[in-house]
Amino acid sequence: MKRFIIKCIFLPLTILYGLIIDFRNWLFDNQLLPSVRPSVYSISIGNLTVGGTGKTPMVEFLIKRYRSGVYMNNESIATVSRGYGRKTSGFRIATPNDTAATIGDEPLQIYRKFGKQIRVCVGERRVEAIRSLLTLHPETTQILLDDAFQHRAVRPHLSILLTDYNRPFYKDYPFPAGRLRERRKGARRADGVVVTKCPMNLWETERQRIETHIRSYTEADTPIFFAGLQYGEPLSFASHESVTGLEKVTLVSGLANADPLEQYVGQTYGIQRHYRFADHYAYSREDLVLIVNDLPPGSAILTTEKDWVKLDALLTESERTTWPLYYLPVSVQFLANQEAEFLSFLHTHRRLAAT
């Protein structure tokens, strides 16, 4: 009831915000504002909702599949994102000296995992960032645009829209009454939709129901896929090797929606406490010391990959090797046989773009 009252209070502002974004999209749709198609193949991964739909795991999924050579060979891949939360500005290509403060936590996470295979770039003005990248590295053949669905100045070759199974866009409203960045009809720009964070045993009838709702806002032939999150074994901060036998953990997270993570960790381990911080939270040394000092006997600290790259920077070498610190890797896992269908969808679009 309280949430309903709040929505009613913000409804006039929501209507105004939606109209402003509609007008902005109309200007781009009618070429009254410039929109540039990159000269190399580009894929946009984005959403209609503010945060929390699993964009980074999807970007990592694409990196792994394209670098595998199954569908593409001799690719020179780069990621381009805004670098949300960084304290720098302008275009940057990640280097070993970068931190979350210089490029953002999610780009740093990607760089730590794939920096030897791809280039990780940040730039709030994506068109300028792409031009700078191609000037410095003309051998680049593919660009993954992270969180670029509303960045209309770039017109990607393929646009993938993500929506959270637990918070589908068709049940939400534009800001400030809801969490949508634009109205639901924006989904019509998507070439494909992936429903993320699904339970792996999702019933076929439930999938059909969700598809029906989504197709109210997309083109009739837009493919819809379903995927969940697969958590791996916890990895040590010190060795990055997997560990087993964790029974009692203190969970630390800075996510837009930590509920699925808490549910998984609660079912798999014994959560003694959960420190919930805001999405992209910039941890301080004081935060870390407080968490460690309050750690119950026999408990370990478990956090996400995104939070690991920020917490790890606060440690001394001695602390890194002696404190019980672990992070939980996560990856995208498509339901049933949908991974093959999704890869075929990617391959078909790439082939069509080359003709």
pLDDT of residue 2: 56
Per residue in 266-277, pLDDT (tens digit) is: 999 989 999 999
Phi, psi of 345 (to 5 degrees): -60, -45
Q: 274 with 239, same domain?
A: yes
State pTM to two decimals: 0.92
Specify the residue for token string 């009454």.
177
Q: What is the mean pLDDT of residues 93-108?
A: 96
Structural domains in the chain (count): 2
> Is the pLDDT at 8 greater than 50, yes or no?
yes
Specify the residue for token string 């029974």.
247
- Does the residue 311 lie in any domain? yes
- Does the residue 268 lie in any domain? yes
Q: 163 with 201, same domain?
A: yes
- Does the residue 266 lie in any domain? yes
Q: How many CA atoms lie within 13 A of 217 on its CB side?
A: 23
- Over its C-alpha atoms, the chain yields an Rg (Å, rounded) of 21
Give the residue, 187 or 12, on which the prediction is more confident: 187
Q: 56 with 145, same domain?
A: yes
- Does the residue 99 lie in any domain? no
Closest by alpha carbon to 292, among 313, 275, 310?
275
Q: 150 with 211, same domain?
A: yes
Per residue in 278-328, pLDDT (tens digit) is: 999 999 999 999 999 999 988 999 999 999 999 999 999 999 999 999 999
Banded pLDDT at 1 (limits 50, 70, 90):
low
Give the residue, 166 or 72, on which the prediction is more confident: 166
Q: What is the mean pLDDT of residues 207-225?
A: 97
Banded pLDDT at 72 (limits 50, 70, 90):
very low
pLDDT of residue 66: 85
| DSSP states of 117-183 | TSEEEE-SSHHHHHHHHHHH-TT--EEEEET-TT-TTB--SEEEEEEETTB-GGG--BTTTSSBSS-
List CB contacts of 119: < 8 A, sequence separation 6 or more.
76, 77, 78, 79, 93, 94, 133, 137, 140
Q: 31 with 166, same domain?
A: yes
List CB contacts of 48: < 8 A, sequence separation 6 or more.
149, 161, 163, 169, 172, 180, 181, 182, 184, 186, 187
For residue 247, the enclosing domain spans 233-328
When mean pLDDT is compared across 24-33, 44-53, 95-104, 132-141, the lowest value belongs to 44-53
- Does the residue 115 lie in any domain? no
Q: 174 with 67, same domain?
A: yes
87: left (phi over 0), alpha (psi -120 to 50) or beta: alpha
- Does the residue 185 lie in any domain? yes
pLDDT of residue 6: 63
Residues 20, 8: Cα–Cα separation, whole Å: 19
Where is 218: in which H helix or E strand?
A: none
Banded pLDDT at 71 (limits 50, 70, 90):
very low
pLDDT of residue 4: 62
Q: Which two tokens stand for residue 138?
A: 């003309």
Q: 248 with 301, same domain?
A: yes
Q: Which two tokens stand for residue 153?
A: 């100045």
Q: 271 with 348, same domain?
A: no
Residues 263, 264, 270, 273: what is their CA dihedral angle, to the nearest 10 degrees? -50
For the chain, percent of residues with pLDDT exceeding 90: 86
- Does the residue 117 lie in any domain? no
Q: What is the mean pLDDT of residues 47-70?
A: 86
Per residue in 230-260, pLDDT (tens digit) is: 999 999 999 999 998 888 999 999 998 898 8
pLDDT of residue 45: 97
- pLDDT, mean over the chain: 93
Q: 317 with 255, same domain?
A: yes
Q: What is the CATH number of the domain that holds 288?
A: 3.40.50
> Is the pLDDT at 88 greater than 50, yes or no?
yes
CB-count exposure of residue 70 (10 Å: 0-12, 13-18, 19+): exposed
> Is the pLDDT at 114 greater than 80, yes or no?
yes
Q: What is the mean pLDDT of residues 114-124?
A: 95
Q: 61 with 204, same domain?
A: yes
Residues 177, 322: Cα–Cα separation, whole Å: 46
Q: What is the mean pLDDT of residues 198-204?
A: 94
Contact 269, 230 (CB under 8 A): no
Q: Which two tokens stand for residue 225?
A: 């896929």
How far, CA to CA in Å, does 279 sit from each of 151, 173, 283, 333? 21, 20, 11, 23
- Does the residue 181 lie in any domain? yes
Q: 240 with 262, same domain?
A: yes
> Is the pLDDT at 70 greater than 50, yes or no?
no
Q: What is the mean pLDDT of residues 207-231?
A: 97
Q: What is the mean pLDDT of residues 19-34?
A: 96
| DSSP states of 20-87 | HHHHHHHHHHTTSS--B--SSEEEEEEESBSS-S-HHHHHHHHHHHHHTTSS-SS--EEEEE--TT-S
Q: 283 with 258, same domain?
A: yes
